[in-house]
Amino acid sequence: MGSNGYISYVKEERARAIAIANITHEVDQLDSLYRRRILNDKSEEPTTETPQTKPFLYLNTAATETGPRESVRLEGKKRFNRGLFIIDIRHMPAGCGIWPAFWLTDEANWPVNGEIDIVEGVNFQSEAKTALHTTKGCNMYDVPEGTMTGIWDTAVGIPDRKTGIPDMTFREAKNCYVYDPHQWINQGCVAIDADGDSLGAPLNEKGGGIFALEWDPIYGHIRTWVFSPHTTVPENLVAAIRTAGEESDEGRVMPNPEEWPLPYGNFPIGDSTDCRGTKFRNMRLVLNTALCGSVAGNRFFMDCKNESKIFKTCNEYIKSQPEALSEAYWKIRGVFVYQRQWQKAWLH
């Protein structure tokens, strides 16, 4: 769904010319840590291994004379109907008016083919969350106890669509239907990381983290994790990421979510659940940074207390080119996608 953001997405040539999209090669400070963990080396002696540079993707925004900033939206070409999606983030956009997202969608057929938000935050939000958006007939009221560590988003004060009177009934956002009358429009079903400090500025202060989403129609679930700081990444995932570049299958370690801790979000899907698996299909990955718009902009007065005392709207704030927008950049070590073959492990 469109963000109505105060931005102009530009093509690759323009993005490179104004330096808001580039790939750098740097020494990965976490590489030696990962190596020690794989080898179970608990010594604190300096490693003799020669540091190797690794590619990092940087995405930023740039000011314009007219006001809306130029930004980048990366769209994958491959379509997915299942998969294990992993992103290693070292820094993500954060702050007032900022709306970054890493998500799965088929926008031409939205919401018929669904939407899965893997990483998304607006303004100063600091808890990782996963949201599913669908047509009518998909809810999470049947999630078994003890299958997730997170909590559900809430929906309180929803205006009655006939009278406009707010309904103060406390509800958990467990209905994925984008027009559910008892939730905010397009709220969807939303699981939130209960530990917090796993998104935005707190995540950046810890050096980033790894987000993983398992979309598995065969086993009937969508599950999601966040590991931050990187010292909390499970051994199997450490090994999978470090060996993902190996040319042969024999040299790669395959990720196995069954060896990881419980996910913070668990969404049962399939014919035996309250959400048919066909609600999610033919989706591609999108990575973008929007500004203001239908979410970050609408929450401007609620979230940006200090900024809203000076600026009448989120757009005016962005147009002023505040120094805080220097934090509106992605630094990504890698995106890793695996797909399960029938009754087999995840394959890179």
Amino acid identity, residue 194?
Answer: A
For the record, the structure tokens of 125 come out as 């939000």
- Which among 13, 65, 75, 120 is annotated as catalytic? 120
| Whether 307 is catalytic | no
Burial (0-12, 13-18, 19+ Cβ within 10 Å), 283: buried
Among candidate residues 13, 65, 115, 235, the one labeled active-site is 115
CA angle 241, 26, 24 (to 5 degrees): 95
Give me the sign of the Cα torsion angle 105, 111, 112, 114: positive
120 is catalytic: yes
Are β-strands 21-27 and 284-291 bridged in parallel, bridged antiparallel, or unpaired?
A: unpaired
Which are the contacts of 241, defined by CB distance < 8 A and separation ≥ 6? 34, 86, 88, 210, 233, 334, 336
Q: At residue 101, what are phi and psi to the nearest 5 degrees?
A: -155, 145
Taking CA 127 as the corner, what is the angle to CA 37 and CA 83, rounded to the nearest 5 degrees? Answer: 60
Neighbours of 34 (CB within 10 A): 18
Residues classed as catalytic: 115, 120
